[in-house]
Amino acid sequence: MALFLDSLGLSKVKDNQAEVLNLFTDVKRESGQDYDYKKVEYKNGLSLIARIAKEGTDLDIIGVDSHISNSSVWKAKPVMSLGQTAELPAVVFSSLDGKSAFIVNVIEAGLSNAVLKENESIKLQVCGFPAQMAVYNDREDYEDKTEAPYMTDKMLFPYYFFNLQSGDIDEEQRKLYSENILFNIYSGEVLETEKVQYLDNSEYCYYSKVKTELGNLQLIYSSNIVASPVKKGNYVVGSVYISAKVLK
C-alpha cells in the first residue's frame, strides 16, 4: 500500500489511517470471494482498490492496490501461482515463446470469473510501480558507468523469486529475496514521460513509458523515487511491482 500511495504523490496520506479511510468514504462495497472491495476511480485512468475483511466493517481495510486502466496490454502464459490468497494472487508468467518470465500481481481477482490455465495465452493489462530507478542518458551510458552490466536491453526478470529457489544462499540473502519476491528487475529506454496529478490534493508524479521485451510498460512514480523527471531517450534500470488486470 505504501508503494502505491508514494508513487501517486500521496506520501502524506500513507501514515495517516484516517486519511486512507477517507479516500474510500461513500464508495460502494462489492462482495468478493475472500475479501470485499471498494474501488475509487480518478482521472487519467487511475483506480485505487481497497480490500476489506469479509466479515468486517468498512474500516477493516486489509490493503490498498492500484491500477491504470489505459495502460499497455501484453499476451503471456501463466506458469505458477506463488500461493497468495485468491484475491490478490501473485502469478509467474512467461512470454508466449517461453524465453522470458515475470511476476504480476492480479488485481480484483475475487471479482473476476477469469480462470488462469497453465500455458494458456492470457491478455493482461499491466502497469508498474518502481521501488528503485537508476537513470542514465542512454544504454551506452549505463554500460559505461556499470562495472559489470549484467542486465540486457529491455530486460524484465523476477530476479528475487528465482534467486530464492537457489539452495546456495545465506539467511541474509534469503530474507532480502523473500521481502522482495513480488518485484521484477527491469531495464529499458524511456519512450515518453508525462507529469500528472491524479488526485486534486496530491503531489505531482510521473508517468513514463518504457520498452521491455514483453512490450511497453507504463511506470508510475513520484519524486521520492527519482528527484528529477526522466526524459525521453533516457535509459532506466531498477525494480518494479507490476499490477495486472486479466482481460476477458
Q: Which helix (H) or strand (E) holds 175?
A: helix 171-179
pTM of this prediction?
Answer: 0.88
Task: List CB contacts of 207: < 8 A, sequence separation 6 or more.
Answer: 44, 68, 193, 194, 195, 196, 218, 219, 220
Give SS3 for 106: strand
What is the spatial distance between Cα 89 and Cα 112, in angstroms, rounded to a whole number? 12
pLDDT digits (tens, 9 = 90+) for 113-133: 556 778 789 999 999 999 999
- Residue 7 neighbours by CB distance under 10 Å: 25
Task: List CB contacts of 48: < 8 A, sequence separation 6 or more.
Answer: 4, 8, 23, 24, 39, 40, 42, 64, 65, 66
- Confidence bin at 86 (pLDDT 50/70/90): very low
The number of C-alpha atoms within 13 Å of 217 and in the hemisphere containing its C-beta is 30
> Phi and psi of 163, rounded to 5°?
-70, -30
Q: For Cα atoms 134, 138, 144, give the angle at the middle one, nearest 5 degrees.
A: 80
Task: List CB contacts of 16: < 8 A, sequence separation 6 or more.
Answer: none
- The answer to which of 115-119, 179-183, 214-218 has the lowest mean pLDDT is 115-119
Q: pLDDT averaged over the chain?
A: 85
- Residue 125 neighbours by CB distance under 10 Å: 18
Question: For the chain, which residues make up each domain, given as ranges?
Answer: 2-68, 73-247
Q: Say whether pLDDT at 15 is over 90.
A: no
Calculate the dihedral angle through the C-alpha atoms of 164, 218, 5, 23, rounding to the nearest 10 degrees: -130
Q: Say whether pLDDT at 87 is over 80.
A: no
What is the spatial distance between Cα 107 and Cα 87, in angstroms, rounded to a whole number? 7
DSSP letter (8 states) at residue 181:
T
What b/e readout covers 156-176, taking b as 16+ CB neighbours within 10 angstroms?
Answer: bbbbbbebbeeeeeeeeeeee
**What grid cell was written down for 97?**
515463446
pLDDT average, residue stretch 174-198:
91
pLDDT digits (tens, 9 = 90+) for 21-42: 777 888 888 887 777 888 888 7
